């Protein structure tokens, strides 16, 4: 009775009310930022006295904001490529391997997901100071890759586990070389895993704040770091505009994943 | 025919020669993770016993000072509060989602995922603006006549709790949804047929059946909250600093690597041991923490 929606009686209304309110609570800040970014009030008064695009034009006129967005995009793109390639090779080893401690090694690869990010950030900061990699593009890419790789390994391994290896063997028996069979048979079959690995890697790097705060230098910073340092001075609506762009990219990528899942599954 | 045999022979020999198979494939990632994950973390922790002098002086200072103990206590209080509130709101939501008509549920799911994947800083910024003295929340409360003067909602415990709960809710709703979805409705029907009223069905059947999932989700949210940095430092005040901020402060403004390493080890030990408890009790689950 409690698990039958239609027979809940008045409890039904109470539960639906809590759920809808919670959804509204979760949605509120996201809609609020979008509204703020078009509001004409410098003091973030809501509802705003009028609507304007001036915060976006300020954002696009400022070489620092644009530069950090471009930096973020470049880092996230490089991280995505490396993460998918490395994740793919590693997943083959982890899923089909027969070596000792296979499960322990897989757990090791996933550890960066559960470690408090601040610990990793501080550790890498110290390490890169010594290596002279602090505030460099390579430093950013490496540190974001540490965080993105687990997502990549997880999605590709899952896809590979769901793929029947005998199909690949059949291609080899039909005359394909083992590499050819992997590229022309296995890769297309696990493409949904590769795709989500790419999207998760990109978003992990694009949205990363904590490690980036420690990695950034005055001349090289990502968009979230620029948002962070601006936030510490004031709450200007330009941040709302920048945040809206960050969110817009996330929504676009998530929609792509949803569409790709449908297309690749059918 | 001959190619068939050749291939079969070749496969047999390569798999024998390359034993243990797969080690070569994981080697690049293993080297990468070794150099850029294990070495830096171990080096940081080592500095806690090596700097400024060899020994456990940093730990003695960390655990012996009232200031630092207050930060530990505050970290646990905030995480506990956030976990309790998330569970209280998350359970009815997960329950409703599990039995709601699918079309409506999928809209709510989209909202959950959207909020989970929206940039953390963007969401935290929104709360900074919403909760400030002249912010929308205070204005609405005054408008409804509930309060006369704006409440201090940000730069204090209230601010961190609201902001963190907001972030953790999806992380508790999604696993709880999975648990409740798996419960057989026939069990509850049986309870009702045996004469249990609605309240008894809830407290004696549904809640105990969902208990494992609730403990697992609560542990996960608690562990993630312990290590959060961005949200507490933007929405919390100086009076209620959390452990992650302390670590950052030791390293960034005080340049005290020994104490930073010691605080990092404390956070790491608490996190990993709670995670081990969860693994032992419930098996592997996906988590993500910032």
| pLDDT tens digits, one per residue of B60-110 | 888 889 999 999 999 999 999 999 999 999 999 999 998 888 888 899 999
Verify cis geometry, omega within 30 degrees of 0, for the bond prior to A31: no
CB proximity B206 to A under 8 Å:
yes
Q: What does the alpha-carbon distance between residue B172 and residue A266 come to, in Å, rounded to a whole number? A: 31
Nearest chain B residue to A133, by CA: B36
Would you call B182 helix, strand, or coil by DSSP? helix
A51 φ/ψ angles, rounded to the nearest 5 degrees: -120, 145
Nearest chain A residue to B122, by CA: A243
CB proximity B222 to A under 8 Å:
no
ipTM summary value: 0.89
Query: Burial level of A246, CB count in 10 A (0-12/13-18/19+)?
Result: buried
- Catalogue the E-assigned strands of chain B: none
CB hemisphere CA count around B163 (13 angstroms)? 32
Cβ-Cβ contacts under 8 Å, A240 against chain B: 125, 129
Interface touch A122/B251, C-beta < 8 Å: yes
Distance from the A231 Cα atom to the nearest Cα atom in chain B, whole angstroms = 8
Count of positions (residues) in chain B: 290
pLDDT score for A80: 97
Q: Which among A44, A113, A121 has the least Cβ separation from residue B287?
A: A113
Q: Which residue has the tokens 């569970």?
A: B87
Which letter does DSSP use for residue B238 in this model?
A: G
Reported as a single tens digit per residue, the pLDDT across B119-150 is 899 999 999 999 998 888 888 899 888 888 88
Interface touch A114/B97, C-beta < 8 Å: no
Which letter does DSSP use for residue B19 in this model?
A: P
> For a pLDDT cut of 70, what percent of chain B falls above it?
91
Strand partners of residue A39? A51
Cβ-Cβ contacts under 8 Å, B34 against chain A: none
Verify cis geometry, omega within 30 degrees of 0, for the bond prior to B164: no
Interface touch A145/B7, C-beta < 8 Å: no
Q: Which residues are within 8 A (CB) of B175 and not within 5 positions of it... i.e. 6 or more apart?
A: B213, B216, B217, B220, B285
Q: Which residues are within 8 A (CB) of B178 and not within 5 positions of it... i.e. 6 or more apart?
A: B213
Interface touch A243/B122, C-beta < 8 Å: yes
CB proximity B41 to A under 8 Å:
yes
Q: Which of B90, B259, B243, B87 minimizes the C-alpha distance to B160? A: B243
Token pair for B153: 């909602």
Nearest chain B residue to A83, by CA: B29
Reported as a single tens digit per residue, the pLDDT across B158-199 is 999 999 999 999 999 998 998 888 888 888 888 888 877 888
Spatial contact of B218 and B172, defined as CB atoms under 8 Å apart: yes
Spatial contact of B175 and B220, defined as CB atoms under 8 Å apart: yes
Reported as a single tens digit per residue, the pLDDT across B197-208 is 888 888 888 888
Residue B234 neighbours by CB distance under 10 Å: 21
Q: Assign residue A44 a region (left: φ > 0; alpha: ψ between -120 and 50; beta: otherwise).
A: left
Interface touch A126/B119, C-beta < 8 Å: no
């Amino acid at each position: 009775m409690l698990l039958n929606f239609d027979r809940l009686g008045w409890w039904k209304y109470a539960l639906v009310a809590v759920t809808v309110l919670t959804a509204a609570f979760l949605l509120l800040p996201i809609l609020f930022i979008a509204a703020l970014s078009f509001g004409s009030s410098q003091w973030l008064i809501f509802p705003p006295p009028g609507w304007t695009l001036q915060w976006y034009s300020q954002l696009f006129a400022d070489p620092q904001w644009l530069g950090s967005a471009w930096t973020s995009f470049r880092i996230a793109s490089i991280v995505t490529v490396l993460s998918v390639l490395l994740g793919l090779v590693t997943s083959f080893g982890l899923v089909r391997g027969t070596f000792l401690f296979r499960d322990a090694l897989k757990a090791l690869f996933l550890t960066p997901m559960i470690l408090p990010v601040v610990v990793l950030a501080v550790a890498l900061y110290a390490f890169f100071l010594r290596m002279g990699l602090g505030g460099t593009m390579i430093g950013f890419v490496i540190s974001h890759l540490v965080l993105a790789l687990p997502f990549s390994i997880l999605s590709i391994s899952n896809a590979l586990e769901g793929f029947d290896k005998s199909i690949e063997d059949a291609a080899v028996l039909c005359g394909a070389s083992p590499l050819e069979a992997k590229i022309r048979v296995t890769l297309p079959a696990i493409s949904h895993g590769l795709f989500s690995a790419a999207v998760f890697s990109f978003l992990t790097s694009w949205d990363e704040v904590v490690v980036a705060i420690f990695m950034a230098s005055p001349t090289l910073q990502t968009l979230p770091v620029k948002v962070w340092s601006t936030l510490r001075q004031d709450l200007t609506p330009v941040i709302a505009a920048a945040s809206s762009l960050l969110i817009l990219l996330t929504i676009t990528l998530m929609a792509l994943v949803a569409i790709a899942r449908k297309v690749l599954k059918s | 025919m001959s190619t068939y045999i050749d291939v079969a022979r070749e496969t047999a020999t390569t798999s024998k020669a390359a034993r243990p198979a797969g080690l070569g494939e994981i080697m690049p990632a293993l080297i990468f993770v070794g150099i850029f994950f294990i070495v830096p973390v171990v080096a940081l922790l080592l500095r806690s016993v090596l700097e400024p002098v060899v020994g456990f002086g940093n730990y003695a200072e960390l655990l012996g000072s009232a200031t630092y103990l207050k930060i530990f206590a505050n970290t646990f209080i905030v995480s506990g509060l956030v976990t309790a509130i998330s569970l209280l709101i998350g359970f009815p939501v997960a329950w409703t989602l599990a039995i709601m008509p699918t079309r409506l549920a999928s809209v709510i799911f989209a909202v959950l995922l959207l909020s989970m994947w929206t940039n953390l800083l963007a969401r935290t910024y929104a709360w900074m603006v919403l909760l400030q003295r002249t912010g929308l929340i205070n204005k609405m409360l005054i408008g409804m006549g509930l309060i006369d003067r704006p409440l201090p909602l940000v730069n204090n415990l209230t601010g961190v709790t609201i902001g963190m709960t907001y972030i953790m809710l999806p992380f508790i709703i999604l696993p709880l949804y999975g648990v409740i979805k798996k419960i057989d409705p026939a069990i509850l029907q049986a309870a009702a047929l045996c004469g249990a009223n609605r309240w008894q069905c809830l407290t004696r059947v549904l809640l105990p059946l969902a208990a494992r999932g609730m403990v697992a989700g609560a542990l996960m949210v608690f562990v993630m909250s312990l290590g959060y940095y961005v949200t507490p430092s933007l929405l919390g005040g100086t009076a209620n600093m959390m452990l992650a901020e302390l670590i950052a402060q030791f390293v960034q403004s005080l340049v005290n690597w020994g104490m930073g390493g010691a605080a990092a080890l404390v956070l790491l030990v608490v996190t990993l041991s709670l995670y081990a408890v969860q693994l032992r009790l419930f098996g592997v689950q996906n988590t993500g923490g910032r």
